[in-house]
Structure 1
Amino acid sequence: MKGLSGKTALVTGSSRGIGKGIALRLAEEGALVVVHYGNNSEAAANVVRTIEDKGGRAIAVGANLNSVAGVTSLIQSLKEELPRVTGEDKFDILINNAGIGTSNTLEETTEESFDEIFAVNVKAPFFLVQRALPLLRDEGRIINISSGVTRIAFPHIMAYNLTKGAINTFTLHLAQLLGPRQITVNAVLPGIVDTDVNAPWLHTPEGQKQANDMSALGRVGQPSDIADVTAFLASSDSRWITGQFIDATGGSHL
């Protein structure tokens, strides 16, 4: 049964990694997926092709979310592209997944790198929600991809941790604000996931052991692990869940 048939979902940063996994999963559930990318149009096109080859529907939309101008561009693209596919510019599910990371310590963080990570990880989701609300249908879903670092101390990536704490706060207050419209807002908190971003250290014997040892389940997370949780929150089955932070770390550091 395809629980998201007739729904349209925008997944930011879905040309690779966790976002790609989410896009594929939502498409399997019958949603029309807007595959957003920042710079890699070819990767986004590949995701669209994969979805279509499996009988799903998807379109790709590009916008660099390092500024409000990029958010404006994304919203304008939605207004132009969605009517061509669905007949209207409305959609049902917003997944704020796009983000960047940094391995800089507190001492190494520069003002420029601090501003950049907050622009992409906090400012963009904030203004995207602001600009997208007129397009988001009542009884819709907003799902923010946060991180387990809001529960587990990793001081060597301090600025990144702060951005995800901000996303959790945003989630809580947004859920209260949008409750009258029956729009649920939740955050998913992944742990270490096997993506190309983590591959350089994770695909070493030492890195693999370290990551496995962190999890109560004794393994590294996969994009599908996060995508399945997100698909549940996007479905009608999660209608009574809002303002929550769903830990999807595999029990890391319990």
Structure 2
Amino acid sequence: MNDLSGKTALVVGASRGLGRGIALATAAAGASVIALSRSATTFPEPGGAGSIQAVVADAADSSVPGSLLDRYDPQLLVLVAGATPLIRPLQHHTWETFSANWNTDVRIAFHWLREALLRPLRPGSTVVVVSSGAALAGSPLSGGYAGAKATQRFISGYAQEEADRAGLGITFTAVLPRITPLTDLGRPAVRAYAARNGQSEEEYVRQLGEPLSPESAGAAVLELARADTAGVAPGYLLTGAGLQQLA
């Protein structure tokens, strides 16, 4: 997939934040992008040969992945969608708020990767599961979010094992973005963790290094999509400085 012209990419969770940045970057690189979100979304016309088609559907609905994979036959599948965690300490969560990301994010990864294997996607396809850096560092103010994101990474690894066992030629990888103030998801978390640490938001962000932007997330996914599949690792931490392979 060194050349994305003529390729189809399906970005699940493309309406905002990192997902939107990934959809725009992939279209700018020449792909025909199917941008899936739960609500109607508009996108600017991409330059070059690429295009973006907005599709409204619930990514967590078990009937959606098979239907859309059959309809669009993507060579690049990127899963970004998930629930926004409620930011509060453990004792202020209910089980329903604590488990929200298990019931949404993990569910999405399970259904989409299952269908990618069952269909299966064509040989040479790449599947990118956007998890979170919280899967490595924990996230004490967001309930079960960190555990759910770690499980997404595990599911990606399981899918790769099954693809290899069946000789499908599909590459699965997990990308774990570091917390960032540049998205609607990250901004309230940055504010809450800064307050918890007795820091200003500026101090907290400064210690994280260069903030991760939607544009840099798009560039990172393009790097993976264009790479020789044999060189794509099972997982990466993603920061403002780019991808860092995980051990």
1:23-55: per-residue Cα shift (whole Å, max 9, x none)?
0111111111010011x20xx2x22xx144665
Report if the CA contact (8 A) 1:7-1:32 is conserved: yes
Alignment of 1:93-104 (within 5 A): 93-102=76-85, 103-104=87-88
Q: 2:98 touches 2:142 (CA, 8 Å); kept in 1?
A: no
1:197 matched to 2:185? The reply is yes
Q: Please say if 1:240 is aligned against 2:230.
A: yes
TM-score normalized with structure 2 length: 0.82
Q: CA deviation at 1:238?
A: 3.6
- Which residue pairs with 2:138 in the alignment? 153
Which residue in the other structure is 1:220 paired with?
211
CA RMSD of aligned residues (A): 2.5
Per the TM alignment, residue 78 of structure 1 is displaced from its structure 2 partner at its CA by 5.2
Paired residue for 1:107?
91
After superposition, what is the alpha-carbon deviation per residue over 1:111-160, rounded to whole angstroms, capped at 9, x for unaligned? 22234321210012211222244152111001000111122233222400
With over 3 angstroms needed to count, the CA separation of the structure-2 counterparts of 1:114 and 1:65, relative to structure 1, is: farther
Contact 1:23 1:33 in 2 (8 A): yes
Question: Number of aligned pairs?
Answer: 229
Instruction: After TM superposition, give the deviation of residue 79 of structure 1 in Å.
Output: 4.1
Q: Is the 8 A contact 1:93 1:136 kept in 2?
A: no
Amino acid at match of 1:109: H
Alpha-carbon spacing, 1:74–1:150, altered in 2? closer, same or farther (3 Å): closer
What is the rounded CA distance, in whole Å, between the counterparts of 1:155 and 1:114 in structure 2? Answer: 11
Aligned to 1:206: 200
Asked whether the equivalents of residues 216 and 240 of structure 2 are also in contact (C-alpha less than 8 Å), the reply is no
State the identity %: 26
Counterpart of 1:106, as a letter, is L
Normalised by the length of structure 1, the TM-score is 0.80
Contact 1:33–1:58, Cα closer than 8 Å, also in 2: yes
Q: Structure 2: 5+ residue runs without aligned partners?
A: 242-247
2:174 partner letter: A
1:229 partnered with 2:214: no
Greater helix content? 1
C-alpha separation in 2, matches of 1:16 and 1:185: 23
Q: SS state of the match for residue 187, structure 1? A: strand
| C-alpha distance 161-62 of structure 1, shift in aligned 2 (>3 A) | same
